């Protein structure tokens, strides 16, 4: 493998947005590591992309399991010696949370959502950072949401539902983006939050008005930023989103 060959890890990548992000990055001749909790589903997803001529390897990775994260990091180091792109895509939400008043949400549901959406992204980023430092142009993309914007949520006219667990986890993820970008500002690594928009996937019950191709285009853009691209920002298809 040449030093120029880029290696990308996408978490939660066996279906939906994660799989489409992998496909679009794979079209750019980037080696794709498909992070999935289930080995069989990961292999099935990887086979789809290999059939398109892409270099794709399924990687068993549970973002809520530290041992799994560390094992994945060791495997990447032993096989590739570096990582160029990390897309923290794995996410979850409480079923039916849009109908649950914030005061009625259980602590267990709040903790479970934060465990995947925030703590999982933090743990994976922390484990992969030594490998990203070896890249000549490391990129971290955190899959956020406009629903995690304090500015938007504090607007009385906002039409967004009050999903405390999901929205708080995405707001926390945005803080990780800001502070990690500050920490890494003297390095080539760029860290950004992106909102793909309301995409039609299993995750949204196929209620979204955007296709997975449209939704994936935003994180792919920030995963492949040039050297003069932004860092420490929050972006959607139409540009910056208010924190």
198 counts as catalytic: no
From the candidates 6, 80, 82, 170, give the one annotated as an active-site residue.
Answer: 170
Of 88, 226, 241, give the one whose Cα is nearest residue 153. 241
CB count within 10 Å of CB 108 equals 9
HSE-CB at 33 with a 13 A cutoff on CA atoms is 25
Helix (H) or strand (E) holding 108: helix 107-114
Q: What three-state secondary structure class fits 194?
A: strand
Q: Which SS3 state, helix, strand or coil, does residue 236 take?
A: strand
Please report, for residues 35, 62, 65, 78, 124, the alpha-carbon distance to residue 71 in angstroms, rounded to integers and kept in the order given.
12, 10, 10, 11, 11
| Cα–Cα distance measured from residue 217 to residue 76, given in angstroms and rounded to the nearest whole number | 25
Encoded tokens for 73: 């990091």
Give catalytic status of residue 166 as yes or no: yes
Q: CA of 205: how far to CAs of 68, 96, 198, 199, 242, in Å? A: 29, 11, 11, 10, 26
Question: Which of 80, 166, 190, 222 is the catalytic position?
Answer: 166
Residues 159, 165, 168, 174, Cα dihedral to 10°: -100
Kindly provide the b/e burial profile for residues 110-127, where b requires at least 16 CB atoms within 10 angstroms of the residue's own CB.
Answer: bebbbebbbbbbbbbbeb
Catalytic residues: 166, 170
């Amino acid at each position: 493998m040449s030093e120029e060959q880029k290696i990308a890890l996408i978490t939660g990548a066996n279906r939906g947005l994660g799989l489409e992000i992998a496909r679009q990055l794979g079209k750019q001749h980037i080696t794709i590591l498909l992070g999935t909790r289930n080995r069989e589903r990961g292999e099935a997803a990887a086979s789809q992309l290999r059939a398109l001529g892409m270099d794709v390897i399924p990687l068993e990775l549970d973002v809520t399991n530290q041992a799994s994260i560390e094992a994945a990091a060791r495997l990447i180091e032993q096989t590739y010696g570096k990582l160029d792109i990390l897309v923290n895509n794995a996410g979850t939400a409480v079923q039916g949370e849009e109908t649950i008043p914030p005061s009625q949400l259980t602590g267990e549901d709040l903790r479970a959502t934060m465990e995947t959406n925030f703590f999982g992204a933090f743990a994976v980023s922390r484990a992969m950072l030594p490998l990203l430092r070896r890249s000549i142009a490391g990129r971290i993309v955190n899959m956020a949401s406009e629903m995690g914007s304090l500015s938007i949520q504090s607007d009385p006219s906002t039409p967004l539902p009050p999903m405390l667990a999901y929205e708080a986890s995405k707001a926390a993820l945005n803080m990780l983006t800001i502070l990690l970008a500050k920490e890494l500002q003297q390095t080539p690594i760029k860290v950004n939050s992106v909102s793909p928009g309301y995409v039609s996937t299993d995750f949204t019950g196929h209620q979204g008005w955007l296709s997975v191709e449209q939704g994936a285009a935003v994180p792919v853009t920030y995963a492949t930023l040039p050297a003069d691209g932004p860092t420490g920002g929050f972006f959607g298809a139409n540009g910056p989103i208010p924190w």
